[in-house]
Chain A
Amino acid sequence: MSTEQSSDSKKLQLTLQQKIGILLSFSKDKVVEQIQCVWFIILYLIVFQVLVLGLPIVYSLMIAAGIMIVIIGLAFFMEGLRLGLMPLGEALGSTLPRKKILGIPCLPTSLAFGFVLGAFATFAEPAIGVLRAAGSGVDPTSAPLLWTILNTGAGLLVNCVGVGVGIAVLLGVLRFYKGWSLKPFIYVGVIVLSCITLYMQFSDDRLKHVLGLAWDCGAVTTGPVTVPLVLALGIGVCRIVSTGGSSNTGFGVVTLASLFPILAVMCYALYLFKTDNYYFASESTAEWHIKAGEYGKNYPIDLQKFGDLNAQSKIDSASGVGEAELSWSLSVEERKMVQTYLNENKSLPEGYTLKTKVAEGVIVPDSLSNGERENVLVQGAKLYVVREGYKAPDDVWNPDADIATAFTNKFDFFPNTFKPQEIDKNNNGKADPGEDFYSIEPDGSINYSKTDGILSGPDQDRGALEGAIWAIVPLCSILLFVLIIGLRQKPKHMDELVIGILCAVIGMCLFNLGIALGLTPLGEQLGGNVVSSFAPIQPWQSEGFIDPIFQSSTVGKCLAILFGFILGYGATLAEPALNALGSTVEKITVGAFKKNLLMQAVATGVALGIATGVAKIAFNLELWYLLIPPYTLLLILTFISSEDFVNFGWDSAGVTTGPITVPLVLAMGLGIGAKTGAIDGFGVLSLASVGPIITVLTVGLLVRKKPKDTPPVEHQMETA
């Protein structure tokens, strides 16, 4: 090629038009790429609600805007991963085994760093908030241990899970150094967890209820920031350390990071149980409460009061107007309106009709002339004016939605933490009388000193901006600090790294905002409304009732299960962490394993898992016998599979159930659970984690064809 290149100028100057051209075409490509991932699930949700359930989409404009923001946020986030987070992780991973920090040998520093990374990542990502939302309906009188862990013991829960994940990453890094296979870890982990599960299931009812939380914890901990970082770190380390014999390529840490939190939560629950440090359900009349006798002696008095308040408010709301009465009744303003209209026009207004309650009457037969047939009269039956059908709100934008609050909650980075100090007004370290959560006024009413009497329910999460900053910036600062100052290795393109991290923060912020505006209302709507397939419900945010689609509740529940199946498939394809895993697998195997192979297999597996989860809630099945058999099957599959598929498959369990799947699935779980009397919405997420492992390992066994052993062919070396 010609040597007369214009290489005199070190930097090439482009005109503004050229720059805009490059930026535009680049952005268009990225956004289109994300739309390709997301379109299926959005279209499916809208079509299902409108065509199958026959209900309109409430707040449609807000949801549409939210989805646009999600797509743009995803595009930014994936770019941030590509430019900043993953190169940073890989640079760190490939330098740690080679250079010493402060003269300490490489192995201990790598292990220590792994622990710090794992622990910190857990504190950074809002996984626990998800679980608290799932457990928002937990009644403290029926499951006191579970309620304690989720509400007053939530801070310590996060710490336990953090330590668990830290140990998992440490073991993962050790495994790379020593060249061990992943299989022994899986065998030991699954067997230990199964034994503890069986123990907790059959020893005490209170322990039994914690199982769903424990298994779901493992599923949600590794999020869209942790997974790429941990993967990149593993890949970097394996590039250097994985010599000849071992076939480790960098996968396997996410697996451990999904198994250890389960163990951590179980240990925490057992510890609380054994030391009697949980809520004593004083209002409970349940059988286990009567059998259990005395417990909760070591639970602090203030927190006991808090629990009592909670239980009382739940009992009060339960004895309120039931749904059946709601469908037959009108509010006072409505009645006045109907009365006025009737007086003026002598007929009922639009949307109101007469309904008869025959059950309250007496049948009086009046036989006709030939005596074989009768006129059947009813005496004393009651006639009511009821609202016909249902009235959905016309708003296209939720009037209560406050974008400013969704965007930022004024940099309060720990809104979820239960802060008993809030009631200590004179700062003497204990709750004096009058400094309590509530006080009884002279007129007999109750004065709540904490947040208007809203003592339970899903907390306000961090704002979108705070969530993004908290999830990414501390982790990246630690990584950069260790890399530049500890290992004295300057990364090649520092500007790319910084821009990458910035993109990731912006992306995550927009992503969180879009989910709050778009996906969460959509998921709540659908989750609530899908129950209409088998039970009469009041549609989301609407007034009035609709009848179930199918008369037979079993058929209706099957429709709900089918809904869950396709929901799982579509939502998984949109997950950013899975996309990152698929690209990484393709990169590591030099394109031998295409990204599509992993994504399709995982999506199918999650679909199966979520369908099973919906079945669990709909038919009120116990979790343990939906979990233990699949895990046993998995042990067998793991034994006969090849090492690389075992690595990919078990890692794919950790990346599913991310920020897109969870809001959709949670709302559905809570909605169905409320109708079928389930105690909590847990279990779906853990089942959604088991499914993909089974499918990926099965696909691995099917596509793997051993090369045939051929006899030598008489072949001359083609020389002259």
Chain B
Amino acid sequence: MNKLESINHVSLVNLILPKDSLSTVSSELKKAGAKGIFHVAARGSIINGGSFLSKMFPPPAPEQSLVQVLVPNSVKQRISEVAISSGRLDRVGSGAIFSISCDKAFCSQNFPLTDGVEGDVVANDLVTMEAICCICEKGVAEDIAQAALSAGAAGPTVTFGEGGGIRDKIPLLRMTKGPEKEFVWCVVDRSESSEVFTSMARAGRITEPGRGFMYSIPVSDGIINVSSTVSNSSHGASMEQVIAALDEIKGGKDWRISGESKSSSLNTTILQDLVGLYCIVPRDYYSEVYDSILDAGAPGVSTNFGVMADQSGSGEDSCNEEWALVYTSLAPSAVENVMNQVTAKIEHIGLDRFAFYTLPIPRALTYLGG
């Protein structure tokens, strides 16, 4: 473990941006000193009208990017401000920014990490929002996103990725199911979070076997301005402007909760207090990391593939350098063990650019066996 440095007081800053503003924002962030800007292609959600024409020609959803940067807490405020001003995230319908404080983070020597003043800046402990992530099969994300929208969340963002677990150990028949998965992300107020969580779980039938895995992460601060509808050009104001205006008139967000809330309890056990282990590796070595995590005993692994915006690849001209974000959720006692095994494997390969970080997962839900 002597190649891994432990970094304290780091947060993961997340941005959800429309695809067009990605290059502007990432170059501004680069100028501000951020490094390791990892972005994943994503799509937003729109409320589907359901008319025959929209079923036959479904209107395209807004294309987005999900950007993640590991930032020391000391510079977090500055980086966030740069992101907000360059992406105009203060405008309604423009995107979102939220940051999650990491329990622990470890970076290898050459991993691009944002420079920060090493100081004991403790992260804010008061958590007002939660990020809910649901990993599901391809095609199911649409229903889950619609359920989240109806429950009051701002437009969920969906990314593609791969995932697997016990099925990868079947010798030949594992080919009968592809590894493609969809990840549904949404960030909601703490007050609404259990409602949104349960309606997403119900829509995706997460408690049935093989349907996926859901978890929520506490978010320490953020601005959520994603749009959830595509406005008709004949309307005077977009839906978000209307909702924002109503917020002002009513003096808060309480009016948003509908009259009678459905019983928000699911008849199932919710897993509590897990730890999410995230590993960022270059894409070429992703399969070794994936295998070693499974060998170390993790029940499931999922991956998002993306690009480091500030690194140019090994090709001659400017290339995209592809990285993979590998994620697994574990009991707190198992984290150390898994991390050690993976690090050993990575050292065996001879890779010197990778990083781990862990995030607290207070709540998770999946099929737990008969």
Contact = CB atoms under 8 A, between A and B. Distances in A.
Interface in A675-720: 699, 702-708, 710-713, 715, 717-720
Contacts of B80: 717
A596 B56 contact: yes
Interface stretch (A119-127, A242-250, A368-376, A632-640): A242-250
Chain A CB within 10 Å — which of B42, B159, B316, B333 has the most? B316
A377 interface: no
B136 interface: no
Could you tell me the dominant secondary structure of chain A's interface residues? Answer: loop
B23 A244 contact: yes
A346 interface: no
Contact of A592 (B55, B61, B141, B319): B61
Contacts of A704: 60
A625 interface: no
Interface stretch (A421-429, A491-499, A533-541): A491-499
B62 to A, nearest CB: 7
B209 interface: no
Interface string B38-75: 00011100000000000111111111000000000000
Contacts, number: 177
A19 B222 CA distance: 48
A81 to B, nearest CB: 12
Contact of A600 (B57, B170, B177, B312): B57
Interface in A76-115: 82-83, 94, 97-98, 105-107
B251 to A, nearest CB: 14
A461 to B, nearest CB: 32
Contacts of A22: 173, 176
Contacts of A291: none
Given A97-B319, A708-B238, A2 B91 contact: no
Contacts of B249: none
A22 B142 CA distance: 26
B273 to A, nearest CB: 12
A578 B329 CA distance: 39
Contacts of A26: 176-177
B222 A241 contact: no
A703 B230 CA distance: 10
- The size bracket of the interface on B is 35 or more
A710 B240 contact: yes
Contacts of B312: 243
A98 B231 contact: no
Contacts of B295: 7, 10
Interface in B342-360: none
A710 B297 CA distance: 49
A597 B240 CA distance: 26
A588 to B, nearest CB: 8
B23 A710 contact: no
B166 interface: yes
Contact of A7 (B225, B294, B333, B337): B294
Nearest to B24: A244
A239 interface: yes
A12 B165 CA distance: 11
A718 B218 CA distance: 13
B223 A590 contact: no
B331 A2 contact: yes
A54 B255 CA distance: 65
23 contacts: A1-B271, A1-B274, A11-B170, A23-B173, A98-B313, A239-B320, A240-B315, A241-B320, A245-B23, A499-B175, A589-B41, A590-B43, A590-B158, A591-B182, A703-B59, A705-B233, A706-B233, A707-B18, A711-B91, A713-B92, A718-B222, A719-B126, A719-B220
Closest 3 CB pairs of A and B: A720-B126, A12-B169, A26-B176
